[in-house]
Structure 1
Amino acid sequence: ADLEHKITFDPPKYVTFKPIPEEQIKEVTIANAHNQAVMFKMKKTRPGVFKMKPVFFSLQPKTQKTIKLHYTGCPQGVKPNLKDRFSVIMAIVPKDAPPDWDVEKVWEDQKMQVELADSVKRRVIRIHYEGYEIPVDPPEKSEKKSKKKKKGGSQETIEESHKKVQSPIPVSFQQAFSAAASANAHGVTPTVQPIVYIVYQGLQPRGTVE
């Protein structure tokens, strides 16, 4: 079975804190049901607000460990960040790890990164603030769709504005041509003769128009 199915958490998904200006401590117990030793490292979203003890540790097969999660509290009148969470990074201990190996050093050792990458897994422990709903990440697909719709809307706006700018141009030429034709009929020299000449060049022969 996969490593993520052999490592269990209690509580399994989240811990609850009160959004008050008071330090609080919660516990999460991690158990290793795998037949190999597993190493862990803990991460958090806000280093100045949360602490974990221990941060680096390992578990032999069929053993467990309780981790203390510290929360410094929420200032009065400040809304808590509902995206706060702890992350647990875990991987099977490399076979070539030295006998006196240190978990933190192994995580940072570049020579062992390749072997660690084959089994590394990540588990999120969400933070539920009392009085608020448990946050759920929105699916990525819905975000992509909304972006596409916005792009389409902007294109439509551009096209409409383009039409508004372009449409008056032929009308003005038609008006100029009509005014010039009327002036010629009465024997008056048109004042817009250069414009009439340009428009006239683009018209079809009289026989075709009639």
Structure 2
Amino acid sequence: MRAVIIGATGAVGKVLVRQLLCDERYQFVEIFVRNPWDIQHPKLICHVVDFEEMDKWYHLIEGDVAFSCLGTTKKQAGGKANQWHIDYDYVIQFAKYCKAQSVQTFVLVSSKGADYRSKVFYLYLKGRIEQAIAQLHFNRTIIIRPSSLIRPNSSRTGEKLGVKILTFFNRLGMFRSYRPVAVSKVADCIRNDAVKPVAYTLIVIENDEI
């Protein structure tokens, strides 16, 4: 199995790459990143690219399964328009090129509550991404919807506070479907599901299934 990844430097992506490199079912792991990767491994192929010029490097995409772990926040992106450009435009363009390059399975890391009908911008954005990916009709599409992520050594104050609040309510038996989930569990789930011999062409993994 050959894996292709964008978003390899993100919270889920970093863990996923390390897991794939240790997984004998994957013969090579190809990542597309903006800056040089800090790990060297015989199975790892690292391409430093400009996502604004995807048409110049899409021919390098070669794999059986593609993982999209790419995503940013409105604050990091500098506004809704830039967040949409990174989260939607980059991911959908990459997915289209994966389809053109005969990648069979596409795995998308989305979000709990993603819905293209939502009035909440972030959930609407994620829902539109899911919708567009599904319409590409890969042989198999896997969408995972984690809730708040538990990241090792996270510097995001708001995120850490949110995890603590949700964990408190979970202990009281409330908001169980929104329980925080470790990035390692998300990565482990999609890594294994990508190689399962199932007949379904579209698989949606909700937070409580991770």
The answer, yes or no, to whether TM exceeds 0.5 is no
Q: Which has the higher strand share?
A: 1
Q: TM-score, normalised by structure 1?
A: 0.23
Q: TM-score, normalised by structure 2?
A: 0.23
Q: Which has the higher helix share?
A: 2
Structure ID, larger Rg: 1
